[in-house]
Amino acid sequence: MRTNPNKPLTTKQHYWLNHIHAADKAGISLSEYAKKHKLKLKSLYNYRWKLSQQGKIKTSGKQSFVRVIKKKSAGVYEPITPKTKSVRVILANKIQVEISLESNELTTLLAQVGAL
């Protein structure tokens, strides 16, 4: 549920909004920004969510992560197992892709990503 976007921001909200905009302007992830500026990553994410709910930050509305299930055979899907590794790839255009794959598939994936 969205709150009133015309409601003025608190001093604390301004503080975090400025950091969120600075990270975006710098073209780096919130994680990198938090480390660089010695901020709590959880607080950055928390305020980004709160401010987006207030309409102060525009978000795409799309889900950031999608669960991947490997197809085992015709019509039967294999759930992700402990032997499956989760890998996040961040492309130069800031698009992030997170996939799960077998350990032996990692080398192939990295070679393909490196060729992009």
Same domain, 19 and 48: yes
Number of Cβ atoms within 10 Å of the Cβ of 48:
20
Residue 71 pairs in a beta bridge with: 77
Same domain, 45 and 80: no
Grouping H, G, I as helix, E, B as strand and the rest as coil, residue 69 is coil
Is 4 among the domain residues?
no
Residue 97 pairs in a beta bridge with: 89
pLDDT digits (tens, 9 = 90+) for 54-97: 888 876 555 455 555 555 555 555 555 556 667 777 777 777 77
Q: Is the pTM of this model over 0.95?
A: no
Is 63 among the domain residues?
no
Is 33 among the domain residues?
yes
pLDDT digits (tens, 9 = 90+) for 10-58: 999 999 999 999 998 898 888 899 999 999 999 999 998 888 888 888 7
Is 5 among the domain residues?
no
Q: What pLDDT is recorded for position 11?
A: 93
Q: How many domains does the chain have?
A: 2
Share of the chain above pLDDT 70, in %: 62
Is 64 among the domain residues?
no
Is 38 among the domain residues?
yes
Is 42 among the domain residues?
yes
Range of the domain at 89: 70-114
